């Protein structure tokens, strides 16, 4: 069945790939991005051409996750156009690369605003609609760095992603009685099909970055990027993440997996999250709230939750 989907952060990377694949799978996709008339005008035009050429329902909407007014307006436009929303995909966010100390507190605040607080702005705009329907799917794009092996120079990014993941888990417990499903997609490192390192933000304090580069961590940035490339299989491409998301969306209601790992580097996040999610589930059972691990409309549980 075709679904109405709002995809947050669709200008590039996983978001762009997923928006196109979901539309090709027969869904109506509202691909959000900021500054449609400026920095993302070319991306919006490319999506419009693709939609026309392939006869798919792929539409762009203006939405900046760092502005509640922009989020509210973008969500309202999509719902007014579609009549309803079935799926929301939280994907917007920024990445930075460099020694943790070299980023200013203001940069940390900016990163958390886009990667964590932005999801809250979207949820507050969308969830009242889904709660009214008592049905829907909230998708979160996490990171294997939240529970797997993490190399240096990515602390601010992994910290923000870990915070977002923890919030996603709590939202799942608070939405299940409303009949709203949660699926968390956990991508690993990909060196093709997306440009994480090329587009990563740089340290705001160059003097600290220079001190690390001239000291015992000389060349570590390039070393880390080479190491990532060495452990990622040659066939791996970011489109695998988009394929996994399409599969989740197309899975029947009540049968969707809580967490899906797509990690060609196999950094161990699948093991780490399996333990964390199990401990969290056991705690809910201990306090007599095990029903939160399944949807209110389900008869029996969902495997893996």
Active site residues: 142, 157, 161
**Which residues, other chains included, contact 203 with Cβ-Cβ below 8 Å and sequence gap of 6+?**
96, 98, 99, 102, 103, 107, 209
Query: Could you tell me where the beta strands, DSSP code E, fall in 132-194?
Result: 136-141, 180-187
State the Cα–Cα distance between residues 30 and 23, nearest whole angstrom. 9
Are 71 and 121 spatial neighbours (Cβ–Cβ below 8 Å)? yes
- Report which secondary-structure segment, H or E, holds 69: helix 68-82
What's the N-to-C CA distance of the chain in angstroms?
Answer: 25
- Report which secondary-structure segment, H or E, holds 267: none
- List the alpha helices (DSSP H) in the chain: 13-24, 41-54, 68-82, 105-112, 118-133, 155-175, 206-214, 220-231, 239-250, 269-286
């Amino acid at each position: 069945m075709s679904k109405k989907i709002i995809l947050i952060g669709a200008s590039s990377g996983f978001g762009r790939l997923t928006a196109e694949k979901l539309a090709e799978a027969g869904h109506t996709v509202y691909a959000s991005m900021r500054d449609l008339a400026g920095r993302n005008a070319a991306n919006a035009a490319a999506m419009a051409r693709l939609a026309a050429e392939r006869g798919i329902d792929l539409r762009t909407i203006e939405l900046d996750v760092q502005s509640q007014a922009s989020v509210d307006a973008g969500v309202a436009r999509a719902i007014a156009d579609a009549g309803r929303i079935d799926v929301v995909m939280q994907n917007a966010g920024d990445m930075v690369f460099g020694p943790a100390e070299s980023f200013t507190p203001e940069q940390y605040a900016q990163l958390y605003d886009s990667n964590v607080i932005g999801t809250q702005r979207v949820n507050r705009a969308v969830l009242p609609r889904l709660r009214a329907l008592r049905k829907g799917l909230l998708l979160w794009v996490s990171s294997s760095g939240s529970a797997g092996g993490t190399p240096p120079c990515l602390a601010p990014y992994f910290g923000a992603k870990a915070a977002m993941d923890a919030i996603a888990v709590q939202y799942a417990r608070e939405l299940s009685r409303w009949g709203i499903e949660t699926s968390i997609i956990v991508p690993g490192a990909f060196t093709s099909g997306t440009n994480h390192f090329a587009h990563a933000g740089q340290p705001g304090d160059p003097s600290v970055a220079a001190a690390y580069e001239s000291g015992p961590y000389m060349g570590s940035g390039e070393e880390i990027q080479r190491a990532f490339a060495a452990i990622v299989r040659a066939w791996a491409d970011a489109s695998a993440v988009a394929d996994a998301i399409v599969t989740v969306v197309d899975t029947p209601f009540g049968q969707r997996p809580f967490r899906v790992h797509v990690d060609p580097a196999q950094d161990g996040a699948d093991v780490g999250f399996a333990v964390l999610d199990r401990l969290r589930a056991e705690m809910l059972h201990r306090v007599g709230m095990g029903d939160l691990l399944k949807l209110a409309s389900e008869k029996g549980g969902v495997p893996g939750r």
